[in-house]
Amino acid sequence: MAKIERFEDLQVWKLAFEIANDVYDLSSREPFSRDFALRDQMRRSAISVFSNIAEGFERDGNKEFINFLAIAKGSCGELRTQILFANRRGYITEQEIVGLLDRLRQASNQISGFQRYLRNNEFKGRKFV
């Protein structure tokens, strides 16, 4: 595996970043944009995924990174639930949520795989060198 120097190089971070951008686009349309509580909570959830991946990476220790990945994974689940609710409210169509939900499941799976890798890796991070 190639050494990753920056969180911006992580595929899962890139995926989460793009998902958040899509959530912002979808939640900017009427009438969704007027449901301030749901719109804002979905945006916070979406931002939380890539932000926690980045913060965990920058902590320089595997244990902390694994913890932040767990938070990011939780935010993936939270966002999936909110997307389903937005669909039920008529803010997002079935066609729009299918790809978004698939990408969120993919991000969640990638996060889980990354956590496994970090748990099994002998290198514990630059913080402990």
How do residues 23-73 score in pLDDT, each as one tens digit?
999 999 999 999 999 999 999 999 999 999 999 999 988 899 999 999 999
Residue 90 neighbours by CB under 8 Å, 6+ apart: none
Residue 95 lies in a domain: yes
Residue 93 lies in a domain: yes
Residue 91 lies in a domain: yes
CATH no. for residue 115?
1.20.1440.60
Residue 2 lies in a domain: no
What pLDDT was estimated at residue 125? 58
Structure tokens at 56: 């965990």
Residue 3 lies in a domain: no
- Count of other CB atoms within 10 angstroms of residue 15: 19
Residue 46 lies in a domain: yes
- Count of other CB atoms within 10 angstroms of residue 36: 8
Segment 91-95 shows an average pLDDT of 95
pTM score, whole prediction: 0.90
Could you tell me the pLDDT band of residue 126, with boundaries at 50, 70 and 90?
A: low
- State how far the Cα of 117 lies from the Cα of 107, in Å rounded to an integer: 15
Residue 48 lies in a domain: yes
**Segments forming the whole domain that contains residue 42:** 8-123
Q: How many domains does the chain have?
A: 1
Quote the percentage of the chain above a pLDDT of 90.
85
- Count of other CB atoms within 10 angstroms of residue 103: 16
